[in-house]
Amino acid sequence: MRYAAGNAKIVCPCCQNDTFQKDYRQLNSRGATFFGLDWANRNATILVCDRCTHISWFMNEVDDYE
């Protein structure tokens, strides 16, 4: 799938591919983990390049485009 962020098409910085698999990862902090509050941490959107598997991280949701 192809994605855009802030009206800019996303391409892989390593191989210039423009198709990715989207997933989400939790941004853990030491304090929240120490107190068992991992659920309160923010999530980041990640895009994994279909060609070279480079992972790009985004703090906000990315938009689909075709």
Summarised one tens digit per residue, pLDDT across range 45-66 is 999 999 999 999 999 999 998 7
- Domain assignment present for residue 66? The answer is no
- Domain assignment present for residue 64? The answer is no
pLDDT higher than 90, residue 43: no
Largest CA distance in the chain: 43
In the chain, % helix, strand, coil (3-state, to 5) comes to: 10, 40, 45
SS3 57: strand
Question: What's the number of domains the chain is made of?
Answer: 1
- Domain assignment present for residue 28? The answer is yes
- Domain assignment present for residue 44? The answer is yes
Indicate which CATH number applies to the domain containing 54: 2.20.25
Q: How far apart are CA 33 and CA 41, in angstroms?
A: 9
Q: How far apart are CA 63 and CA 40, in angstroms?
A: 24
Q: Tell me, what's the pLDDT at 35? A: 60
pTM: predicted TM-score of the whole model, two decimal places:
0.80
